[in-house]
Structure 1
């Protein structure tokens, strides 16, 4: 994953857990159009009738992700502790973050920015994984409910659990944010260990260093 910083190209390597399928962050419109064609060929049915709404929602998600400097976006299916199958979306973004500073100060700046613009969170915690500081924030948001065919709920909004883990480069000049969202709100906190581990696995590297030291997912 890479982001431009005006100096050397910045990349990260990160461990993405199993269960996620990467979604396209380039040629989004073309990818959605090709998927629509596939569903159109299937013919009438509950899956093909729901496909246009699902794909348009996906198009909005991916377009918004690219605007937020996303370098990875994925859809996941998981088994909860009680065996229930749940789904989630995963977005990883990379941002340049100014002058050199202690990484804890960089994360403090992130927290100030997240809360000063009106953002509210249910839990805010600074943790350490293998000696590395990570900022964890979570909340439950109410978002417009997708207008799918045969939707049983009459509610115009849907609750979504969002968890974000932010990690800084050792010199504080860049950050990576790992954001997980799921409509299975009651299972949201089960994602905390996984997302914290993902953030802890982030390595900030230049393009030259990346070519010398491949990781499980170089982005």
Structure 2
């Protein structure tokens, strides 16, 4: 997305489906302190020396999300089928941005598509007609370096992460909401398509309260 266009955006309404557990993006120091005992107890003894590194990485990731206009972050646990005991894990974030002057939302998406082309982004892209505005849908698979963890076998094959991005403009084109989903379960990744589009279709852009002379906060 064009960086010169993106400024802190408005609050948005969205329906988060069941199965997601929110990770608060405020007061991260307390969150890390509370998470340490649970993470330490949940890993094998040979990996416990790496818990501080894991917490440091998690702190950095959540702080980065908060600094980049993330309104929501959550980890999802979902069965792959009703009859299966296999559980897929996914990471979901919701962000919003102020995008400038009023205009047709289709022009906003056109500009965002051009920006992806300029960056040579590779993936499957589509414009999906939502309930009120068009939605820019983009999915791709990306390789990420495997972390070095003591006592855990090293690998020369970087893990592949399946990712989906849905961008929803406001009706007047002045704001955008961005949904991002990632899962290391590449095989199951396509099953999230419908869920992400349902979430994207539920997005609303609440108007800020009228100025009545008192101080009000939009959270």
- Regarding TM over 0.5, the answer is yes
Runs ≥4 residues deviating over 4 A: 37-44, 46-50
Q: CA deviation at 1:40?
A: 5.6
Structure 1 window deviating more from structure 2 (180-189 vs 144-153): it is 144-153
**1:4 and 1:39, CA in 2 relative to 1: closer, same or farther beyond 3 A?**
closer
Partner SS, residue 66 of structure 2? helix
**1:42 and 1:69, CA in 2 relative to 1: closer, same or farther beyond 3 A?**
closer
Which is strand-richer, 1 or 2? 1
Q: TM-score, normalised by structure 2?
A: 0.81
RMSD: 2.7
Distance 2:63 2:116 in 1: 21
Summarize deviations over 1:169-192 as a string: whole Å, max 9, x none. 000000000000000011111111
In the alignment, structure 2 segments of 5+ residues that lack a partner are 1-6, 211-217
Q: CA deviation at 1:44?
A: 7.7
**Partner residue of 2:68?**
68
CA contact (8 A) 1:53 1:146 kept: no
Q: CA deviation at 1:43?
A: 10
In the alignment, structure 1 segments of 5+ residues that lack a partner are 210-217
Q: TM-score, normalised by structure 1?
A: 0.81
**Partner residue of 1:110?**
112
Q: CA deviation at 1:52?
A: 3.3
Aligned length: 204
1:142 and 2:160 correspond = no
**Partner residue of 1:129?**
130
**Partner residue of 1:45?**
45
Summarize deviations over 1:46-78 as a string: whole Å, max 9, x none. 685564343333223212212321100001111
Summarize deviations over 1:127-146 as a string: whole Å, max 9, x none. 11335311100111111213
